[in-house]
Chains A and B, each alone.
Chain A
Amino acid sequence: MFFGHPATVALVILSLVAMGGVTFWSFRRSRRLSDKATHLLYLALDGRADEARIQARQESRELRPVLDALGGEATPISARPLIQDAVAVAALTVLPMVMIAYGFGVLTDPESTKKIEASTALLVGIAVLMPVGVAAIVTILEMSRRSARDIRGACITLLARSVKTVVETERSEALRRGANVRDPRGE
């Protein structure tokens, strides 16, 4: 049998709602990034690289690696900024921390019934929020990682074309200069 301090219980429920909301927002964001990266890749492969570049420029900083890859330079893929994931994870911990701080504050109340209500609400709140919070954090990081890999895959597909162009240009330059270059296509 439990009875809880109303404000602490409300904070627990708010924390759960916030966790669900942040996780859903993170899921939508990851899906959108993956879809956008794939869309930009298809545009570029379809011969509309300029349009893809324009669209990529209008997107968030997280799609900057795709924009770099669309630029046609054969350079390593830049790292995707993780600031939004860090913010999402930090946001998950705010309300539980407020709940714990508030619960500990109520524990100093001279009325014993309030102390019992606050302590039980704290114990049950931590019992619920700890696994749910960890599950939410793991989910956010997993989705973020998956979208990062999708973006990386799109970048490498574009990079392969750039590398091929660069190698062919270098080979043509070398042949033009009369250097002794072996053409692998003749093997």
Chain B
Amino acid sequence: MDPTLLLLASFSILALVFAATLFNVLREKRALGRLVESAVDFDAVQDAITQLPAPHQEIAAQLVEAINVRSTLDEALTKAVVRATNESFEPPLARRLITNMLLALVFFAPISLALIQVADRVVKTFLAAESSPSAQVYLRGQSDLEAPFSLLHSVFFGAAWLVAGLALWWALRWWLLRPEVREARFIRALLECAARLRPGVGAPVSARLCELVAPDRGIQRPVVATVLWFLAITAGWGILYATGSMRSQNAAQTVYDVWPKTTLIGTTEALELPAHAGGRPLPTAPQPSLFIDAESVRLGPQLLVQLDADGYLPERWMESAPDVSRTTKGYEVLEPLVIATNTTRVETLLDTLEAFGGRYRVGRYHLVARRSFVLRGGDKRVQSTLPSRVGTPIQAPGLVLRVTQRGVTIVEENTEILFADVAWRIRLREAVRVRPDLYGVEASAPVRVQADPALVYERLVDVLGAADSSCMGTVDCGLPGLGLEFVLQSL
């Protein structure tokens, strides 16, 4: 069942009870007015009495009868007043209690139903997440829980209006239909009726009694109500003020601290790592580090080649490069960490990786980048890696991205996402997110990236990170990426 429909039904019931309250008040006022107007002859009064609501009829009939038979007006009026004050002017207690309980249940049913649906969804998501790969837990949880929580939010919002409507209805009922008000209205009509039927006759006892029974019109109650009102407003303001920071945090995009405690790879001033919002934690097994800065390519401290002034590799550089077999020996699978500076040309990067990989049988590379996100305790700095191979993919690619100076083209869809578009990262992320074959537990298809050789490394990593990111918003949420595998090629 949809809680929104229940909410609409509750609003309809509220409108009905509003209308019923106003209708009852108007009907009673009209009937009492008719009773007073008709109090010039007894037959007309008898007629008017039959139009009165049920609780009033008998009392009014007895009063008119007593006046008709010329008994003492004062005594008859006193009896009528006493009987009116003993009348409940409401349905029987049991019926009223059942009605009130049903109304309370009906008006809170939308909230209750939405809460139960959210609880159900939380459990189902938790059970599903237990059997999901870690990269999918956040995405799955978010997509599963977002809709029920949004519904809960809107139902609570609607329920707030409903409660405001209920308060208004309660106030209206209290003002116009509470037993004391109905009693006062009825007694007034009886007094006016008696005065018209027996003009000029005094009724000191009933007059004094009515004076004592009349509601208190002193200033004490309004003053107390005003003070309570201001106290309630102050308390509400106080609660809002005290919870301001919490609500502000709730409105902010969530940032997660889920990264393992690892030592960051040290870089120099000449080597500035690119940043993005994707990637996975650094591999736990030690791997050699391939440094590419503006001037040279090194494996650890060992210089492999000096780059020219424009940042390009010399011809046949690998032939003259020192043999680093001893350095790379001892690793079961050689998967070097690539620590390249922002300004490295993609051509230089790909040539280096291709030549190095060809000579030393590298399985894949881990492109190291930095993640920087703001946690409650301050900035959090971690390093993430994007697993990438170079050259022709072993398996058929699941997705082909073509990266140029202008933007990224999703080849299968022939869609170009321009870097000029401020939401290009979100658009690229959404294009990848709909392809669970790229990042699910059974995922085996890599993403082939054909990059313009003239691009700089910073742009390439930005594209790879945007495709891999798990974050939904525009800020770095701190979560590891989807775990995409990339195959890099030159255009």
Contacts and interface: CB of A to CB of B under 8 A. Distances in A.
Contacts of A156: 81-82, 85-86, 209, 213
Contacts of A123: 115-116, 118-119, 122
A116 B115 contact: no
Interface in A13-71: none
Interface in B65-107: 72-74, 78, 81-82, 85-88, 90, 93, 96-97, 100-101, 103-105, 107
Interface in A91-136: 112, 116, 119-120, 123-124, 126-128, 130-131, 134-135
Contacts of B118: 123
A7 interface: no
A156 B206 CA distance: 11
Interface residues of B, number: 47
A160 B81 contact: yes
B205 A164 contact: yes
A96 to B, nearest CB: 13
Given A131-B112, A157-B82, A160-B81, A182 B202 contact: yes
Contacts of B208: 74, 163, 166-167
A159 B209 contact: yes
A4 to B, nearest CB: 9
Contact of B86 (A116, A157, A184): A157
Most chain B CB within 10 A, of A120, A123, A171, is at A123
A142 interface: yes
Most chain A CB within 10 A, of B108, B124, B216, is at B108
B78 A164 contact: yes
Given A146-B88, A156-B213, A157-B82, A139 B100 contact: yes
Given A127-B112, A143-B93, A156-B85, A163 B120 contact: no
Nearest to B88: A149
Nearest to B118: A123
A69 to B, nearest CB: 10
Contact of A2 (B82, B88, B120): B120
Interface residues of A, number: 42
Given A123-B115, A127-B111, A184-B202, A163 B209 contact: yes
Chain A residues touching B, majority SS: helix
B157 interface: no
Contact of B179 (A126, A138, A149, A157): A149
A167 B204 contact: yes
A138 B202 contact: no
A6 B79 CA distance: 61
A184 B201 contact: yes
A72 interface: no
B34 to A, nearest CB: 27
A56 B216 CA distance: 25
Interface of A: 1-3, 74-77, 112, 116, 119-120, 123-124, 126-128, 130-131, 134-135, 138-139, 142-143, 146, 149, 152-154, 156-157, 159-160, 163-164, 166-167, 171, 182, 184-185, 187
Given A142-B100, A153-B86, A187-B201, 20 more contacts: A74-B208, A116-B123, A119-B122, A127-B112, A128-B112, A131-B104, A134-B108, A135-B105, A138-B101, A143-B97, A146-B93, A149-B179, A156-B81, A156-B85, A157-B85, A159-B213, A160-B205, A167-B205, A184-B204, A187-B202
24 contacts: A2-B119, A2-B123, A74-B208, A74-B212, A112-B126, A119-B122, A123-B116, A124-B115, A130-B111, A131-B105, A131-B108, A131-B111, A143-B97, A146-B90, A149-B88, A154-B86, A156-B81, A160-B209, A163-B78, A184-B72, A184-B202, A185-B72, A187-B200, A187-B201
